[in-house]
Amino acid sequence: MLADMATELEAARMLMYRDAFAKDTQDRSAVEAAMAKLYASEAAHRAADKAMQILASAGYRRGSTVERLVRDVRATEIYQGTSEVQRMVIAAGVLAQRDGA
Ligand SMILES: Cc1cc2nc3c(=O)[nH]c(=O)nc-3n(C[C@H](O)[C@H](O)[C@H](O)COP(=O)(O)OP(=O)(O)OC[C@H]3O[C@@H](n4cnc5c(N)ncnc54)[C@H](O)[C@@H]3O)c2cc1C
């Protein structure tokens, strides 16, 4: 579980750098930003969930750091564009690329 958490954290970081690179070099960001936000927020959700599983009852206990993280991280899939909305942005980008736009 720790290996998955660390790997997904790095993958999220790479998507964020890719977005920053697209913005810096081509002044383009919408799809890259949507991919980074979608992946990072869902990976954070998975990581917090695994952290709770590792700590079990100590993680579930009200007031514990992990209990707080599980609750807080869930909101990142909702605010600043829900995961569904990010997927719509990405899918529109994929279709536009296919159509040569
Ligand atoms: C902790 C927290 C902090 C927030 N902070 C702010 C803030 O500072 N400023 C601010 O302006 N807002 C803030 N929000 C609001 C947040 O941006 C909205 O909750 C979010 O945009 C979703 O809008 P909604 O709640 O009206 O849900 P809706 O738009 O009603 O969507 C409900 C569900 O349907 C899905 N959905 C909607 N349309 C489609 C579609 N076409 N296809 C598939 N699925 C769809 C959504 O993804 C969502 O899961 C915050 C929310 C939370 C939870």
> Looking at residue 47, which CATH number applies to its domain?
1.20.140.10
Q: Which of 45, 39, 47 has its CA nearest to residue 1?
A: 47
Using alpha carbons only, what angle is made at residue 80 by residues 53 and 100, rounded to the nearest 5 degrees? 110
The confidence score (pLDDT) of residue 101 equals 65
Q: Between 29 and 13, name the one with better pLDDT.
A: 13
Task: State the Cα–Cα distance between residues 12 and 8, nearest whole angstrom.
Answer: 6
Q: What is the residue with the minimal CA distance to atom 31 of ligand 1? A: 82
Q: What is the residue with the minimal CA distance to atom 20 of ligand 1? A: 79
| Residue 31, C-beta contacts closer than 8 angstroms, at least 6 positions apart | 89, 90, 93
Q: Are 88 and 96 in contact (CB under 8 A)?
A: no
Note down the domain range covering 63. Answer: 2-98
Q: Note the pLDDT tens digit of each residue in 20-69.
A: 999 999 998 899 999 999 999 999 999 999 999 999 999 999 999 999 99
| Count of structural domains, the chain | 1
Atom of ligand 1 nearest to the CA of 85: 47
Q: What is the residue with the minimal CA distance to atom 53 of ligand 1? A: 75
Predicted confidence band at 100 (pLDDT cuts at 50, 70, 90)? confident
